[in-house]
């Protein structure tokens, strides 16, 4: 934990409240505060009764013997149960009227569309599951997925789940090196990819990046390539013996292979998703089958108040946890119709989102504050050009939403009528942990609200003492919950150290927060060395270790500073090795280095070449000083441990 953790300021915050409209509450799944209170209490005091009832519509082939086995910090949920998650997401709907209901409504960036009903999606998943099996992939194997936002990425994830293989989706913005690290860490046997993806009118060459990533990688036996592009738009090379065309592989396989889902234990690995932490090495967050299904299913149903005729759109990328939980498993297990949009929000112009909403009559929109801020900047006229009156519920995730952005979203997009759910959760939590329920709770802009069923959050001091309303502290969760991460892949010790060692007996989130008299939580942001840039989680240590691997770099320190659109922006301070010139070219080269090694989304806003970095007498870089300097603030706090004050002055001079 960084030293800044102790000094989160307390303040009274936004006092305005917005009640749900009576019309919304009247039709909502949960209508009153009394109902919420009763369910919440039951979920904490009688969790067996609660989870039995609430998961009754899901397909368990064998019921559980015991709800939870909690050997802190290791949890097992639905002990003894057996299932295949795809039977809850697909097969169960085929016996109902949902069989002909759109499951995926795909909107390509160029404007092409494709709708897959539940029957069709099921078929495609079974077919691709057969292709995977025919190529020797089976239960317990890991499959890396590096794809864009096309129906096949969902099909690929579900096909892995159907055969009991764990997927690890790597966000399409990551560079070759980052893909290689992740594949090596989990020992993936196959990769699913596509030739290219459309992004802002250009082709992102995904297959070529996979080719580069696989150089020297031993574990990969097969690469399945979905062809999204025409040959003119994107040429690819297929490596004989390793690479297979997605649909050719299906044709060549015995289709009966994928029909029967592999029935697995509730604790069988479902996926690994790498996320940034406070060290240079990304963490492979492991989620398992039964608990993850229960968590995503229930939150989707109640937080988004999902009704049968909703058209639901989560604008996240499947490469992040939001895409896993709220594009794939949560909505499909509820039988929702989900819009899947391939491209950028401003292609061909800033009206695209609103146009997609009008075109597909989207009723639920789940997006990120960073996108909202970009829309505000682009101007109201883009919203006004479209009829978005189909919207009935809005949601945000990924970072705190500033009250101004909240109000714009509420008034301009939601006509002052649609409830907004500000959902707090993490890759590690698997599903939404805190939010308001849309038919029940008043919303206070900037505050995410109250705990979801089964979750016991608390604010504690760094000594673990529970704090009172209004006091800023560390956000922890005091009990296990079904969709919690089970471990860090291959590293139980790191799992323990990272999440269960700071505060005794509780899961430490890495966030600073406070709660008010009414029990509403406000998450202020990360207090560890993790940045949130445009909703992307970036570990400063990862950036630093990438920089010091560059031949010219002696030392590097990465910090965040506030940014109007991105929330936070990345600033790096670098000292060079003797013999290298600190000029604009070098700054550009280091910036390009990060984009090549990690991905474009991690490219710093500013590279500052300095003679030396501020350090303590024992040689530790004092990042908090750099944070203040980068943000243009007075340097705060105790400077007595600083070895050489002139270093700070000379860095400050660069910013004046
Ligand atoms: C931040 C994304 C404030 C928080 C689902 C958390 C939020 C990190 C909110 C997890 C919110 C997420 N209000 N902050 N509603 N939602 N965060 O793993 O700092 O990509 O720890 O998961 O995002 O980011 P991750």
Report residue 278's pLDDT band, with 50, 70 and 90 as the boundaries: confident
On whether the 89-101+113-262 domain is CATH 3.40.50.920, my answer is: no
Q: Does the pLDDT at position 5 exceed 50?
A: no
Q: What are the C-alpha distances in Å from 648 to residues 39, 622, 624? A: 54, 10, 12
Name which residue sits closest to atom 8 of ligand 1, judged by CA: 426
Determine if ligand 1 sits within 6 Å of the CB of residue 525.
yes
Report residue 31's pLDDT band, with 50, 70 and 90 as the boundaries: very high
Note the pLDDT of residue 335: 98
Rounded Cα–Cα distance for residues 291 and 21 (Å): 33
Q: pLDDT > 90: what percent of the chain? A: 90
User: Which atom of ligand 1 is closest in space to residue 320's alpha carbon?
Assistant: 20
Q: Does the pLDDT at position 561 exceed 90?
A: yes
Report residue 199's pLDDT band, with 50, 70 and 90 as the boundaries: very high
Note the pLDDT of residue 10: 37
The rounded Å distance from CA 167 to ligand 1 centre is 22
User: Which atom of ligand 1 is closest in space to residue 530's alpha carbon?
Assistant: 19
Tell me the pLDDT tens digit for each residue of 322-377.
999 999 999 999 999 999 999 999 999 999 999 999 999 999 999 999 999 999 99
Note the pLDDT of residue 277: 80
Q: What are the C-alpha distances in Å from 12 to residues 16, 92, 365, 369, 462? A: 11, 48, 30, 22, 21
Tell me the pLDDT tens digit for each residue of 572-601.
999 999 999 999 999 999 999 999 999 999
Determine if ligand 1 sits within 6 Å of the CB of residue 532.
yes
Determine if ligand 1 sits within 6 Å of the CB of residue 429.
no
Note the pLDDT of residue 83: 99
Tell me the pLDDT tens digit for each residue of 158-196.
999 999 999 999 999 999 999 999 999 999 999 999 999
Range with top average pLDDT, 15-19, 348-352, 402-406 = 348-352
Note the pLDDT of residue 14: 47
Query: Which residues have a Cβ under 8 Å from the Cβ of 456 and sit 6 or more positions away?
Result: 44, 477, 478, 479
The rounded Å distance from CA 399 to ligand 1 centre is 5
Note the pLDDT of residue 125: 98
Determine if ligand 1 sits within 6 Å of the CB of residue 321.
yes
Note the pLDDT of residue 192: 98
Determine if ligand 1 sits within 6 Å of the CB of residue 422.
yes
The rounded Å distance from CA 525 to ligand 1 centre is 8
Determine if ligand 1 sits within 6 Å of the CB of residue 400.
yes
Determine if ligand 1 sits within 6 Å of the CB of residue 189.
no
Q: Does the pLDDT at position 7 exceed 50?
A: no
Report residue 12's pLDDT band, with 50, 70 and 90 as the boundaries: very low
Tell me the pLDDT tens digit for each residue of 116-158.
999 999 999 999 999 999 999 999 999 999 999 999 999 999 9
Helix or strand run (H / E) with residue 356: helix 352-360
Report residue 280's pLDDT band, with 50, 70 and 90 as the boundaries: confident
Determine if ligand 1 sits within 6 Å of the CB of residue 527.
no
Determine if ligand 1 sits within 6 Å of the CB of residue 143.
no
The rounded Å distance from CA 397 to ligand 1 centre is 7
Query: Which residues have a Cβ under 8 Å from the Cβ of 58 and sit 6 or more positions away?
Result: 83, 88, 92, 293, 294, 297, 333
Tell me the pLDDT tens digit for each residue of 425-470.
999 999 999 999 999 999 999 999 999 999 999 999 999 999 999 9
**DSSP SS3 for 584:** helix
User: Which atom of ligand 1 is closest in space to residue 526's alpha carbon?
Assistant: 19
Class of domain 3-84+270-526: alpha beta
Q: Does the pLDDT at position 8 exceed 50?
A: no
Tell me the β-bridge partners of 339.
105, 313
Rounded Cα–Cα distance for residues 369 and 316 (Å): 12
**DSSP SS3 for 633:** coil
Note the pLDDT of residue 94: 98
* Residue found under tokens 């509450």: 25
Q: pLDDT > 70: what percent of the chain? A: 98
444 and 16 Cβ atoms separated by less than 8 Å: yes
Helix or strand run (H / E) with residue 458: strand 457-460
3-84+270-526 and 532-654 in the same fold = no
Radius of gyration of the chain (CA): 24
CA nearest 14: which of 459, 402, 444, 517?
A: 444
Query: Which residues have a Cβ under 8 Å from the Cβ of 439 and sit 6 or more positions away?
Result: 20, 24, 25, 27, 28, 29, 30, 31, 305, 419
Note the pLDDT of residue 551: 96
Name which residue sits closest to atom 22 of ligand 1, judged by CA: 426
Tell me the pLDDT tens digit for each residue of 530-551.
999 988 889 998 999 899 999 9
Give the CATH fold of the 532-654 domain: GMP Synthetase; Chain A, domain 3 (3.30.300)
Note the pLDDT of residue 517: 96
Q: Does the pLDDT at position 9 exceed 90?
A: no
642 and 616 Cβ atoms separated by less than 8 Å: yes
The rounded Å distance from CA 430 to ligand 1 centre is 11
SS (H, E, C) 67-124: EEEEECCEEEEEECCEECHHHHHHHHHHCCHHHHCEEEEEECCCCCEEEEEHHHHHHH
Mean pLDDT of the chain: 95
Name which residue sits closest to atom 11 of ligand 1, judged by CA: 424
User: Which atom of ligand 1 is closest in space to residue 428's alpha carbon?
Assistant: 18
Q: Measured on CA atoms in the order 547, 215, 202, 244, is the torsion positive or negative?
A: negative
Determine if ligand 1 sits within 6 Å of the CB of residue 317.
no
pTM of the model: 0.93
8-state DSSP, 466: B
Mean pLDDT within 299-306: 98
User: Which atom of ligand 1 is closest in space to residue 510's alpha carbon?
Assistant: 21
Q: Does the pLDDT at position 1 exceed 50?
A: no
Determine if ligand 1 sits within 6 Å of the CB of residue 627.
no
Phi, psi of 642 (to 5 degrees): -70, 135
Tell me the pLDDT tens digit for each residue of 464-507.
999 999 999 999 999 999 999 999 999 999 999 999 999 999 99
Note the pLDDT of residue 3: 38
Residue to mutate, 395, 424, 444, ligand 1, most ligand atoms under 8 Å from C-beta: 424
Q: Does the pLDDT at position 249 exceed 70?
A: yes
The rounded Å distance from CA 395 to ligand 1 centre is 13
Determine if ligand 1 sits within 6 Å of the CB of residue 510.
yes
Note the pLDDT of residue 528: 86
Determine if ligand 1 sits within 6 Å of the CB of residue 299.
no
Determine if ligand 1 sits within 6 Å of the CB of residue 425.
yes
Name which residue sits closest to atom 23 of ligand 1, judged by CA: 398
The rounded Å distance from CA 143 to ligand 1 centre is 26
Name which residue sits closest to atom 25 of ligand 1, judged by CA: 426
Tell me the β-bridge partners of 329.
none
The rounded Å distance from CA 433 to ligand 1 centre is 10
Determine if ligand 1 sits within 6 Å of the CB of residue 88.
no
Note the pLDDT of residue 165: 98
The rounded Å distance from CA 400 to ligand 1 centre is 8
Please report, for the chain, the start and end positions of each structural domain, with discontinuous segments joined by +.
3-84+270-526, 89-101+113-262, 532-654
């Amino acid at each position: 934990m960084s030293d800044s953790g102790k000094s989160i300021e307390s303040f009274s915050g936004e006092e305005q409240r917005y009640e749900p409209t009576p019309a919304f509450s009247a039709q909502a799944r949960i209508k009153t505060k009394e109902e919420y209170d009763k369910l919440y209490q039951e979920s904490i005091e009688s969790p067996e009764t609660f989870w039995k009832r609430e998961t009754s519509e899901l397909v368990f082939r064998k019921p559980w013997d015991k709800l939870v086995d909690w050997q802190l910090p290791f949890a097992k949920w639905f002990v003894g149960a057996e299932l295949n998650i795809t039977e809850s997401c697909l097969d169960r709907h085929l016996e109902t009227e949902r069989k002909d209901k759109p499951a995926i409504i795909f909107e390509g960036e160029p404007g092409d569309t494709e709708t897959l009903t539940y029957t069709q999606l099921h078929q495609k998943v079974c077919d691709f599951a057969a292709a995977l099996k025919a190529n020797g992939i089976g239960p317990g194997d890991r499959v890396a997925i590096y794809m864009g936002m096309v129906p096949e990425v969902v099909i690929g994830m579900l096909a892995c789940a159907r055969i009991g293989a764990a997927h690890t989706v790597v966000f399409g913005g990551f560079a070759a090196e980052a893909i290689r690290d992740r594949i090596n860490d989990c020992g993936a046997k196959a990769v699913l990819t596509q030739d290219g993806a459309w992004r802002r009118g250009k082709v992102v060459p995904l297959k070529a990046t996979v080719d580069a990533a696989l150089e020297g990688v031993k574990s990969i036996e097969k690469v399945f390539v979905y062809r999204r592009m025409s040959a003119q738009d994107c040429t690819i090379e297929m490596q004989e013996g390793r690479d297979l065309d997605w649909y050719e592989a299906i044709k060549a396989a015995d289709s009966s292979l994928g029909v029967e889902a592999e029935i697995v234990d509730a604790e069988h690995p479902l996926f690994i998703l790498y996320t940034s932490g406070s060290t240079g090495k990304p963490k492979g967050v492991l989620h398992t089958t039964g608990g993850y299904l229960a968590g995503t299913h229930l939150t989707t149903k109640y937080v988004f108040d999902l009704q049968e005729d909703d058209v639901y759109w989560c604008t996240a990328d499947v490469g992040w946890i939001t895409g896993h939980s709220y594009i794939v498993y949560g909505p499909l297990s509820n039988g929702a119709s989900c819009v899947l949009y391939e491209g950028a929000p401003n292609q061909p112009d800033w009206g695209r989102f609103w146009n997609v909403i009008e075109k597909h009559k989207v009723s639920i929109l789940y997006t990120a504050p960073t996108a909202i801020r970009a829309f505000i900047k682009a101007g109201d006229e883009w919203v006004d050009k479209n009829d978005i009156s189909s919207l009935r519920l809005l949601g945000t995730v990924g970072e705190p939403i500033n009250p101004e952005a909240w109000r714009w979203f509420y008034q301009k997009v939601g006509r002052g009528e649609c409830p907004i759910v500000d959902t707090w959760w993490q890759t590690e939590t698997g599903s939404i942990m805190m939010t308001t329920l849309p038919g029940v709770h008043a919303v206070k802009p900037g505050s995410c609200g109250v705990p979801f069923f089964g979750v016991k959050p608390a604010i504690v001091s760094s000594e673990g003492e529970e704090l009172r309303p209004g006091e800023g502290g560390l956000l922890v969760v005091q009990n296990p919950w079904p969709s919690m991460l089970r471990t860090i892949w291959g590293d139980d010790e790191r799992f323990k150290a990272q999440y269960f060692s700071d505060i005794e007996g509780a899961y430490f989130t890495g966030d600073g927060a406070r709660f008010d008299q009414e029990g509403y939580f406000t998450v202020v942001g990360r207090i560890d060395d993790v940045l949130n840039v445009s909703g992307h989680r970036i570990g400063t240590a990862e950036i630093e270790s990438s920089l010091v691997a560059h031949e010219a770099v002696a030392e590097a320190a990465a910090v965040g500073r506030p940014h109007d659109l991105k929330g936070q922006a990345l600033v790096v301070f670098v000292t060079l090795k003797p013999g290298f010139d600190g000029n604009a070219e070098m700054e550009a080269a280091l910036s390009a280095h990060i984009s090549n090694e990690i991905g474009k989304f991690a490219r710093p806003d500013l590279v500052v070449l300095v003679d030396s970095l501020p350090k303590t007498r024992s040689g530790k870089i004092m990042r908090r000083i750099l944070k203040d300097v980068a943000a243009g603030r007075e340097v705060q706090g105790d400077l007595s441990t600083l070895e050489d004050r002139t270093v700070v002055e000379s860095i400050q001079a660069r910013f004046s």
